[in-house]
Amino acid sequence: MGAVGLHGESALLAFAASGRAVAHLWEAPLGLVAPSSYRRYARLAQIQADFARRGVAVELRPSGGGVVPQGPGNLNMSLAFPVSQPIGSLSDAIYQHLCAILQAALAGLGIRAEARAVAGSFCDGRYNLAVGGRKIAGTAQYWRRREANGHAVLAHAVLLVDADPAAATGLANAFEAALGSGRTYDPDAVTSVALSLPGNDADPERRLSSIVRGALRRALAYAAVGAHRERLAELTPRRRGTDRERSSCSCDQR
């Protein structure tokens, strides 16, 4: 998410806690975002400092999963909205909602994407979006209890637009190696919008990120979070829950 993104997403959660819905498209500076579970590594603070000296910010996020590279060439989409259902009861429906928005945007560019796990990709999970068997986007969500009623939900996706999959994967691998985690990722398991365009030929007269932003805005207009709160609620039966907060990532962290 990056430092700016993490602070911005806290503001989005507060917005949702007030009973309103919002969608935000944003980019982050070069960096890595790891789950808070990485605090278990004794050398984390030293490694964060080492990477910072190289111009790479390493941030921790509340949601689970694995390491996610950020930076120029990636586009983030954050949706924040209130729900009245018990905590976590709509998790699958929300992931499906995120994926549907991204799929619609990519379809408008002639790219067919599917929700699935991609072995070897960083932060792998069953609600990745993949093109040709390679990961092009990842998703996560975070729930927080509202003081009034129900929960505020932050649903997030990061889409590789014209980032270099090999460079992004290499950065994640360097971080994992410095930690001594034993995890490695395969650059061939990841792709980007630029590499997936029909004919692999982006319009040289226009910034690809602007094209993708426009496609996402159109997809969001057809699937406005506020208009679909009731529809999402119908997809999962109600059940009782008492936790104040819950985070998840579509990643299957091992």
Q: What amino acid occupies position 34? A: A
What token pair was written down for 171?
């950065």
What pLDDT score was predicted for residue 247? 61
Size (the chain), residues: 254
b/e code 52-73 from CB counts within 10 Å (16+ = b): eeeebbbbbbbbbbbbbbbbeb
Rounded to two decimals, the pTM is: 0.85
In sequence order, the 6+-apart residues with CB closer than 8 A to the CB of 197 are 109, 110, 111
Distance, CA of 178 to CA of 175 (rounded, Å): 5
223: how many CB neighbours lie within 10 A of its CB?
A: 17
pLDDT by residue for the chain (254 residues), tens digit each? 433 456 677 889 888 999 988 899 999 999 999 999 999 999 999 999 999 999 999 999 877 789 999 999 999 999 999 999 888 789 999 999 999 999 999 999 999 999 999 999 999 999 999 999 999 999 999 899 888 789 999 999 999 999 999 999 999 999 999 999 999 999 999 999 999 998 765 554 457 888 899 999 888 887 664 455 554 554 444 444 445 555 666 665 44
Domains of the chain: 2-249 (3.30.930.10)
Q: Return the active site residues.
A: 123
Long-range contacts (CB closer than 8 Å, 24 or more residues apart) made by 3-10? 3/28, 3/29, 3/31, 3/57, 3/59, 4/28, 4/29, 5/70, 5/76, 5/78, 6/33, 6/59, 6/61, 8/78, 9/78, 9/80, 9/154, 9/156
SS3 content of the chain, % helix, strand, coil (to 5): 40, 25, 35
